[in-house]
Structure 1
Amino acid sequence: MITRRLFTALAASSVLAVAACSAGADATSQQTEYDAAGFRERMAKESTVILDVRTPEEFAAGHIPGAINLDVQSPTLTDDVASLNRAVPYAVYCRSGNRSQVALDIMTERGLEAFHLAGGIGAWQSAGYDIVS
């Protein structure tokens, strides 16, 4: 039979454990997906590298100013990601957000700080932001 003191101690430690896990998750979690306005604001921070992970043909047709093309479908993608500078954050986008999520997953697994544009370049253009070719 559980005594009142033991029950109280177990209940208190459970509450503390949940609180500690919640606080730790909030402190270490970082937003990785932004709408066009949030993406634009975050990518404007100093040293952020903008990566367009679409095909070279899509990139040539129009991209966010200052972006570098890193084709997520390239057979050299793993090596390309491995060569990226770990000291800077990366703003990643594609056409709709699917390929940029794939790239983001690969990048964060390798310890890079990265975030991506929800809705891709279409969302960027819908928000009225410029692209260049």
Structure 2
Amino acid sequence: MKKIVLSAFLLLSIFSNEALAEPESRIIIDVRTESEWLGGHLQGASHIALSEIKNKIKVFEPNQDAEIMLYCRSGNRSGKAKTILEDMGYTNVKNIGGISSASSAFNIKIIK
């Protein structure tokens, strides 16, 4: 019985550590305009407007296998940005939709 409890505790510790490390490993990019960004954005996000993403992404994140999560106001522009990055060879790009839904889904605060 002690071995079962110890094993369960060990597994929970491993999964908890992985869950805690996950936010640090993900790259979150807000593709809205600068004025939208200044009005509030997801904590930990970086800003690259959709109109600039093709020119700036390789300097910002040269690793084309990195997990990149994109959002905007509604999910439309982040969908376009996802297509651009995939066309450039990025393999792990996710459109996480609009800022409000992304904030709720990933439990990330919106900050100003």
Q: Structure 2 length normalisation: TM-score? A: 0.67
**Identical pairs, percent:** 32
RMSD: 2.2
Three-state SS of the structure 2 residue aligned to 1:115 is: strand
Unaligned runs of 5+ in 1: 1-40
Unaligned runs of 5+ in 2: 1-18
How far is the alpha carbon of 1:65 from its aligned partner?
0.5
Three-state SS of the structure 1 residue aligned to 2:25 is: coil
**What is the one-letter code of the residue matched to 1:71?**
A
Q: Structure 1 length normalisation: TM-score? A: 0.57
**Please, which of 27, 31, 36 is the counterpart of residue 58 of structure 1?**
36
What residue in structure 1 maps to residue 45 of structure 2?
67
**Please, which of 52, 56, 72 is the counterpart of residue 80 of structure 1?**
56
What residue in structure 1 maps to residue 110 of structure 2?
131
4+ residue runs of structure 1 moved beyond 6 angstroms? Answer: none
Larger radius of gyration: 1
C-alpha contact (below 8 Å) 1:82/1:110 kept by paired residues: no
How far is the alpha carbon of 1:129 from its aligned partner?
4.9
Provide the C-alpha distance between the structure 2 equivalents of 1:104 and 1:60, rounded to a whole number of angstroms: 22
Number of residue pairs aligned between Structure 1 and Structure 2: 88
Three-state SS of the structure 2 residue aligned to 1:96 is: coil
